[in-house]
A = this chain, B = another copy of it.
Amino acid sequence: MSDHDVPGGGPSVAEPLVAAEPARRCSAAEEARTLLAGTGQGALASLSDDGSPWSSFVAYGTLADGSPVLCVSRLAEHGRNLQADPRASLLVVAPADGPDPLAAGRVTLAGAVRPGGADARAAYVAGVPSGDVYVDFGDFDLWVLVVERVRWVGGYGRMASASAEDYAAAGPDPVASSAAGAVAHLNDDHADALRDMARALAGHPDATAATCTGADRYGLDLTIATPRGVATGRVGFAEPCGAAGDLRGATVELARRARA
């Protein structure tokens, strides 16, 4: 089916020498909720009057269950489209973080819109700069996208669907906004601790160095240098972070555990 394994196409990858403790990852539903919380803009797909697809730029707010809230003018094609046919899909893409656009995380939510009420108005105004200026204009309609399908892509080779129920029940990662700073701090000032985590907790006792490539509520992603080649690994926190401020303590605990 796939010819993606191009011979000679990648560097050799070092396998763990010893079994590492499995480290929990964010679910697709959690990744989707984190993407929605990370930006207030996306691409709406709606249906034009001849049934053809129409892609347009929208700002959105978010209800507590993750339902996106749109506010669009009937003077614009997407506003007329939603009035005529409620089927819609919203794409949200993580802000660019490198030269390769397809390495970016993104999520597609698909379903149908319903008219929004006071909670939708509040969510829109809270989520969208200048939203309060036009939310009450007579030609603007508030719509809630009732999510029926969720498809998350985390970059190359990372993708999964989530059920509407899991999406609604999940929450955005509380450490998402502080993760980049924490990763930079770990790499700048705590390279030894990262190497020790790779040795003691990620299955590479011969690690010579490790770099943190990501942090989330459940743990850290590492790139690990060994005499056998480069490896990737993940080390899990003792407890999931429940707030942005928990990331520091969770990482300190990891470093202590690596040296115990």
User: Are the CB atoms of B53 and A104 closer together than 8 Å?
Assistant: no
Q: Which of A25-33, A84-92, A118-126, A225-233 contacts B (4 or more CB under 8 A)?
A: A84-92
Residue of B nearest to A46 (CB): B53
Copies in the complex: 2
A130–B88 touching, CB < 8 Å: no
Closest to A94 in B: B57
A53 touches B45 (CB 8 A): yes
Check if B53 sits within 8 Å of A100, measured CB to CB: no
Across the interface, do B102 and A130 meet the contact criterion of CB distance under 8 Å? yes
A110 CB–B CB distance under 8 Å: yes
Stretch at the interface among A133-141, A164-172, A192-200, A239-247: A133-141
B101 and A59 contact, CB distance less than 8 A: yes
Using Cβ atoms and an 8 Å threshold, which residues of chain B touch A48? 110
Give the A interface residue count (CB, 8 A): 51
Chain B residue at minimum C-beta to C-beta distance from A131 = B102
Binds B, one of A36-44, A204-212, A252-260: A36-44
- Please give 20 more A-B residue pairs, beta carbons under 8 A apart, in addition to A45-B46, A54-B110, A57-B153: A1-B139, A2-B138, A3-B138, A4-B137, A40-B101, A42-B43, A42-B55, A43-B43, A45-B53, A48-B110, A51-B87, A52-B87, A52-B89, A53-B87, A54-B108, A55-B108, A57-B93, A57-B106, A101-B129, A102-B130
| Interchain Cβ contacts under 8 Å between A and B, 20 examples | A2-B75, A41-B93, A42-B43, A42-B55, A43-B45, A44-B55, A45-B54, A45-B89, A47-B51, A47-B52, A48-B110, A52-B89, A53-B53, A53-B87, A55-B90, A56-B91, A56-B106, A57-B153, A77-B151, A100-B130
Chain A interface (Cβ < 8 Å from any Cβ of B): 1-4, 6, 9, 40-48, 51-57, 59, 75, 77, 87-91, 93, 95-96, 99-102, 104, 106, 108, 110, 128-130, 133-134, 137-139, 151, 153
